[in-house]
Structure 1
């Protein structure tokens, strides 16, 4: 069976939102199917398709001559600009950063800024649940598995999970782990959650005010959608 040229990715999903494996198994070999298994199907609720690459990346790939930020129209749309220095991002950060920390927060380069944010931890208050997730990806074959643990404010184990994903990249596996942890936390009716991850790229995508990377956009959007529920989630 050959996939029609006019077919869209959404055509390969069933009414329940899962992949149409009966069709896909006739079109692709086992290795490709294993990669598809590690990808979340598209969802209409996540909005319209959008351009994924930052303008800075599009200039590098010679797809445009304009490297300015699509949100504020100023500067090059680099990663640090998108995460922190864009006027829209800065407005959000200014509401959460103490005035005496402004200089250190807004003047640091990308690496120092990310390391500082990853090391800083919020106080563990009563009623707060901390999520720690992790992934394992084999160097040979890109086989991925994920796991996660939810603990209370005293560090006591509440619930955990582990899951085999298929073939994929480490960043994709990490995002899957975070998504599963959030789904579990919501089902358990926890209202205050802290997400901790040692994957700098995953954290960057989740605090980005615009859009995630091209290979993980659907997962990033689904995680952000979970975070917008009626609860408090800190990353």
Structure 2
């Protein structure tokens, strides 16, 4: 039971969870409030059916409507990358803007402000973390050839990520 993973103080029992759940899943668990007795019995529900019961048809409809043809292509391309599995998962989560940034924490009521704690200048979304924050931008300026910087920093996030993942000429040059 999920309720068994909560300590006496009503918080997640991280010691116990670490023994049972992969570390990669803990960030997702951290974004979910622990169950409280006042909320009623703990039971699984399927959010894409009005009666909250899972059906293959609703799963198929959800996947078919949410994932456009372009996204299916990206999905296939990401999972065919010759990189460690954790890099593929990171790329997939980044593309879908599902990393637990401060913007996501605020949406889930786990943080009060979405401000970037590194630069204190702008909302900490995935684009900010990977490209626009002064810390990230400083690294990119050392790697990206001067002639490509304008397009590099002005592309829409998903276009930028796609080019970085699949266009090897995007940041490479004959420069040191």
TM-score (norm 2): 0.41
Greater strand share, structure number? 1
Greater helix share, structure number? 2
TM-score (norm 1): 0.31
Relative CO higher for 1 or 2, CA cutoff 8 Å, sep ≥ 6?
1
